[in-house]
Structure 1
Amino acid sequence: MTTHHPETRRLVYGHAQMHDCLAFADARTWGVARRIRTEHASNPAGPIDDDDHIYAEYADDEPFDINEVGSVVEGDWPEMVTARAFKVLPQGLRARFGKRVPTVHNGDYLDIPVDREAELVAELRQHGYEVTRDDELINVLDGRGFSPLAG
């Protein structure tokens, strides 16, 4: 029997179609989405300030739906879902299961072969992670469904 600890890391993962590999993410609420740091653009779901109350109706713990964010900047926000593994997976597992791949415009991503899924998920669970597969969410987080370049 597994016990739930408040500090348990919850990850969602799936097959990222754009790069044909596994991707991992942990942004599932508006509060988490607001705290995503961006390097080249402002965060359209970003912190609420006095000048912009457009997303104030969403509580921080409300499920995040990227399709409700009207000002998604192609290529800058959100970051490639396949790049999030650099932040959410332990370094040792990234090194064992993935390969860093550069892109021309959007930085590096971690290529985790789909056929390594069972072994990697088992390792994550041994490390105390709660892991759920959701291919649709992973691909929405990667821009599929609202990007004119994704199809």
Structure 2
Amino acid sequence: MTTQHQHLVCGHSTAHDCLAFADAGTATAAAAEIRALAAAQTWGEARQVRMTHLWNPAGPEYHEPEDGYADDKPFDITKVGAVEDGNWPPIVSTRAFTVLPQDLQDRHGKRQVTAHDGDYLEIAVAAEGELVAELRERRYEVTRDDALINLLDGFGLNSPAA
């Protein structure tokens, strides 16, 4: 059993009706990128959003101006193909594979396989108390933030709060 200090955020992922975990610092930065892209008013603005934790689904490698996505055209994040298809942002429940110790993944989670979006770790919401207690015994700091977890999963992208 390893012990370390790491700050995790957890919350109820509405998309998969399970508990999801993410590194708090990375989660906050990725959420800022999602909010910045969602706030873009034009395709030009969307293309200029810098991403360091995610990839930009509105980037020129995906949507060329000459293909009808001119810089001055109105931008709606919910109309971007990768967002419509559920490929962006990536499933938040996949992050548990990298932030949770393997023994806790095995004990509290179940690997779910999806045909298009990759595997994710399904952790019952009812397991939260026990799992968080075990993490805290290992010196993890754990904060509950359902809104952040769901934003990382793409929920609320079409609302002003995104």
User: TM-score, normalization: structure 2?
Assistant: 0.61
Q: Quote the offset at 1:73 in angstroms.
A: 3.3
1:72-111 equivalences in 2 (<5 Å): 73-74=82-83, 75-111=86-122
Residues 1:113 and 2:124 are matched in the alignment: yes
Unpaired stretches in structure 2, ≥5 consecutive residues: 34-50, 58-76
Task: Kindly report structure 1 stretches of 4+ aligned residues shifted beyond 4 Å.
Answer: 32-35
CA RMSD of aligned residues (A): 2.7
CA distance in 2, matches of 1:11, 1:92: 17
Greater helix share, structure number: 2
Q: TM-score, normalised by structure 1?
A: 0.65
Q: Cα gap change, 1:72/1:89 in structure 2, threshold over 3 Å: closer, same or farther?
A: farther
Aligned pairs for 1:11-50 (under 5 A) are 11-26=8-23, 27-29=27-29, 34-36=51-53, 43-44=55-56
Max Rg structure: 2
Matches within 5 A, 1:51-90: 73-74=82-83, 75-90=86-101
Structure 1: 5+ residue stretches without partners? 1-6, 38-42, 46-69
Q: Evaluate the alpha carbon distance shift between residue 15 and residue 72 of structure 1 in structure 2; reply closer, same or farther with a 3 A threshold.
A: farther
On the 8 A contact 1:72/1:78 being kept in 2, the answer is no
> 2: distance between equivalents of 1:108 and 1:123?
24
Name the residue aligned to 1:136. Answer: 147
Q: Percent identity?
A: 53
Aligned residue pairs, count = 113
